A and B are shown apart, each in its own frame.
Chain A
């Protein structure tokens, strides 16, 4: 027995020793593992350019104002459509420190050899030249919303201006009807025929075919409704809003209210004019006196309809608009040709259906 005890003890000591040894090893491994983990965590989260998604094609969208809700909505839908085909669509101008005009952006895009240009064009000769220049360098150009018919553009994506004109006409007639019934209930002593003044706010760009189409469509449609207008004098006038520089539109719209004869109905043909007019009506305390027919369904415009300041607005299906742009360019690359015209739907929003759109807005948020 005596000889065995030291052996046992030695064995015990060995076990203790190996426990210490193992614990040490585990300790070292754990420490190294912790460091490695820390290291990895530290370097994670830095997305380098090589890890970013790469695209096959690169289109740019050139607008007059990349900040407007309308263009943003169009861009969003077009962007999503482009993503499906692994194409990157950039809303051009966003990344520049200076504000470039669409013409300058066209030049930059052409020099940058992009794969496709979507441009809010006008009928100016300069634009024609730029579009032709781009297409001569093999860059397909799609005009969006505003066309340049003389150029070699691939196709035009826009709204049916004639339809819009008719829609406005309907609303003008509705306003007339309402005013009539109001007056007849209030007082029957209206021997004196009242003149209804309708003013259409035009862009200073006179060559805009879309604008002209809208106005003529409006006039035609109202002329057809003779029974409504027979005992009413209806005068149409065009007011050209000066938008040559950044803030002149607002100033020139306010000028309308400084003259004696304030129009009964003001028809606005873009988002900015609608907002400016709405604000001017509120500021000059002419709510209920002046009815506004607006354009586009931005949140503030919809809210204005809800409050009754804006009578109605025309909503363009911006999603469709954006999708058509990409479809046109993709068709060109796939088949070498595409439709000359794409027309997006328009909808009317007035007091009756404004709640729907407000709900939608809430949902979107």
Chain B
């Protein structure tokens, strides 16, 4: 059956039709055989009567030809007699000589023997006539004629009896024939009904997958891509189409998934960019608020530096120049990303300014891997951290305060460490700062206005890493270290390894 199901659709439909036709054909052949045998039986019904009539005719011929011969003694009549005699003997031979319980059988037998007697009597008559034995042939003729009459009578009786029985037989047969017709009709009706059921169920079994396919396709057309895959029950055309449909459904799902993922990614990126921008703007706004007009300040300071140089006050010149550089960084820095080197320079400048302000109070130590200075990072990061370290860490320590700046590589990260030996920060505060829940005092206005939270969130966005910033403090008065981890891309890695 499964082999049948795997055959092509055309083959299946044709074989079902052929099968149904064969059933009808076989049934019809059987019915025809029945009708045929019955009609043969019907033909045979009056056969006996016909045979008897032939015998009767032949008997008459014999008697007539004998009489004719006796009358005229022509050779023609003799010849006719011999022929008639031959015909009659042959017909007589066919009669059944057995004794049965059926009266026809016995009558047949009696006719046979009487005819034999009659023929010998007739031949004796003819012989006597030829021998001119007048006395004898008269006697023989009389005997023969008597027998002839009896035989005729016998045949008539038998014919009548046969006719009665055959008529009865015939009517029985025709009644049976009608019954047979009726039964045949019923049989054909049943066969037809059965065929319809068979064809319906078989075609239904073949068409079912197609229906399922159509249903499934409709479902998909209505937008339900989660429609169940079609079971493939056969390897015919429907099976192939179903299989293709299943594949299509799967690819559509995959494609949609991919599309959704990429859209989400894009959206994320846009979001990130927007946030970066907004943070930076926020920082810049605060910076500008603080510096009011850096251009003016910068130009003013430049003018002051030139004045100092003309006056030969080198230290003043240097200081004013440093301050000018410090402010210029912000003025030119419109872009988001800068190099680590630029940030380090800014820190250098800032420390120098502070040292002038606080007359060389702060110790500043740098351990920088120069190979890493070209790596990009967000701007305005290091300076705020250093500012924090100065303001909250070492401000009150006078000459003992010390800032350590390190740039180094650790595994696949570039680490920028800003350490101090100041007051330190408690663990709770570290957590608060990192989680962004540190509340800055409103009046705290002694830095450039960019808070740690801004720095931290910008770094996290840039590195896409929540642990981009780490704050370490060993306890009260044991200093503090802020470590920034920037990811290194492969190009930078190889570059630094050379």
Give how many B residues have a beta carbon under 8 Å from the other chain's beta carbons: 61
Contact at B191–A98, with CB atoms within 8 Å?
A: no
Contact at A35–B31, with CB atoms within 8 Å?
A: yes
Distance (whole angstroms) from the CB of B182 to the closest CB of chain A: 10
Contact at B100–A18, with CB atoms within 8 Å?
A: no
Contacts of A6 in B (CB 8 A): 231-233
Contact at A42–B38, with CB atoms within 8 Å?
A: yes
User: Whole-angstrom distance between the alpha carbons of A32 and B146 in the complex?
Assistant: 58
Contact at A53–B100, with CB atoms within 8 Å?
A: yes
Contact at A55–B198, with CB atoms within 8 Å?
A: no
A17-41, CB < 8 A from B: 17-18, 20-21, 24, 27-28, 31-32, 34-36, 38-39
Contact at B102–A97, with CB atoms within 8 Å?
A: no
Q: When A28-B23, A58-B99, A97-B160 are in contact, do A42 and B150 touch as well, CB less than 8 Å? A: no
A192 within 8 A of B: no
Distance (whole angstroms) from the CB of B236 to the closest CB of chain A: 13
B1 within 8 A of A: yes
Contact at B102–A49, with CB atoms within 8 Å?
A: yes
Distance (whole angstroms) from the CB of B376 to the closest CB of chain A: 49
Contacts of B1 in A (CB 8 A): 14, 17-18, 21
A352 within 8 A of B: no
Kindly report which residue of chain A lies nearest to residue B194, judged by CB atoms: A27
Proximity string of chain B (72-84) to chain A, C-beta cutoff 8 Å, 1 when within and 0 when not:
0000000000000
Contacts of A206 in B (CB 8 A): none
Proximity string of chain A (99-118) to chain B, C-beta cutoff 8 Å, 1 when within and 0 when not:
00000100110011110000
A96 within 8 A of B: yes
Kindly report which residue of chain B lies nearest to residue A86, judged by CB atoms: B99
A67 within 8 A of B: no
Residue of B27, B37, B147, B190 near A111 (CB, 8 A) is B147
B98-119, CB < 8 A from A: 98-107, 109-111, 113-114, 116-118
Q: B151-159, B257-265, B342-350: which one contacts chain A?
A: B151-159
Q: When A18-B1, A35-B34, A113-B117 are in contact, do A108 and B27 touch as well, CB less than 8 Å? A: no
Contact at A88–B183, with CB atoms within 8 Å?
A: no
B354-389, CB < 8 A from A: none
Give the interface SS of chain B, mostly helix, strand, loop or mixed: helix
A246 within 8 A of B: no
Proximity string of chain A (75-104) to chain B, C-beta cutoff 8 Å, 1 when within and 0 when not:
000000000000010100011111000001
Contact at A55–B205, with CB atoms within 8 Å?
A: no
Contacts of A104 in B (CB 8 A): 150
B161 within 8 A of A: yes
User: Whole-angstrom distance between the alpha carbons of A58 and B96 in the complex?
Assistant: 14
Contact at B205–A35, with CB atoms within 8 Å?
A: no
Distance (whole angstroms) from the CB of B243 to the closest CB of chain A: 11
A259 within 8 A of B: no
A5 within 8 A of B: yes
Give the interface SS of chain A, mostly helix, strand, loop or mixed: helix
User: Whole-angstrom distance between the alpha carbons of A49 and B105 in the complex?
Assistant: 7
User: Whole-angstrom distance between the alpha carbons of A53 and B113 in the complex?
Assistant: 20
User: Whole-angstrom distance between the alpha carbons of A28 and B28 in the complex?
Assistant: 12
Residue of A17, A38, A108 near B183 (CB, 8 A) is A38
Q: When A49-B102, A52-B100 are in contact, do A97 and B156 touch as well, CB less than 8 Å? A: yes
Contact at A31–B187, with CB atoms within 8 Å?
A: yes
Contacts of A17 in B (CB 8 A): 1, 4-5, 205
Residue of B109, B113, B154 near A96 (CB, 8 A) is B154
Proximity string of chain B (163-184) to chain A, C-beta cutoff 8 Å, 1 when within and 0 when not:
0000001001000100110010
User: Whole-angstrom distance between the alpha carbons of A201 and B37 in the complex?
Assistant: 62
B221 within 8 A of A: no
Q: When A111-B147, A111-B150 are in contact, do A88 and B187 touch as well, CB less than 8 Å? A: no
Kindly report which residue of chain B lies nearest to residue A45, judged by CB atoms: B172
B9-58, CB < 8 A from A: 19, 23, 26-27, 30-31, 33-34, 37-38, 41
Distance (whole angstroms) from the CB of A81 to the closest CB of chain B: 16
Proximity string of chain A (299-331) to chain B, C-beta cutoff 8 Å, 1 when within and 0 when not:
000000000000000000000000000000000
B201 within 8 A of A: yes
Distance (whole angstroms) from the CB of B497 to the closest CB of chain A: 49
Contact at A28–B26, with CB atoms within 8 Å?
A: yes
Contacts of B4 in A (CB 8 A): 17
Contact at A54–B99, with CB atoms within 8 Å?
A: yes
A16 within 8 A of B: yes
Contacts of A39 in B (CB 8 A): 30, 33-34, 37
Distance (whole angstroms) from the CB of B7 to the closest CB of chain A: 13
Residue of A18, A55, A111 near B113 (CB, 8 A) is A111
Contacts of A111 in B (CB 8 A): 113-114, 117-118, 147, 150
List 19 extra interface pairs beyond A31-B194, A49-B96, A97-B156, CB under 8 A.
A10-B231, A24-B194, A31-B191, A32-B27, A34-B187, A35-B31, A35-B34, A38-B34, A38-B187, A39-B34, A42-B179, A49-B102, A55-B101, A58-B99, A90-B103, A98-B153, A108-B114, A111-B150, A112-B113
A-B contact pairs, 22 of them (CB 8 A): A6-B232, A9-B231, A14-B1, A16-B205, A17-B1, A17-B205, A20-B198, A21-B1, A24-B198, A31-B27, A38-B187, A39-B34, A43-B37, A46-B41, A49-B104, A53-B100, A55-B100, A90-B103, A94-B103, A95-B161, A97-B156, A112-B109
Task: Give 6 closest A-B pairs by Cβ, nearest first.
Answer: A112-B110, A58-B99, A113-B113, A6-B231, A55-B99, A52-B100
Residues of B within 8 A of A (CB): 1-2, 4-5, 19, 23, 26-27, 30-31, 33-34, 37-38, 41, 96, 98-107, 109-111, 113-114, 116-118, 146-147, 150, 153-154, 156-158, 160-161, 169, 172, 176, 179-180, 183, 187, 190-191, 194, 198, 201-202, 205, 231-233
Residues of A within 8 A of B (CB): 5-6, 9-10, 13-14, 16-18, 20-21, 24, 27-28, 31-32, 34-36, 38-39, 42-43, 45-46, 49, 52-58, 88, 90, 94-98, 104, 107-108, 111-114
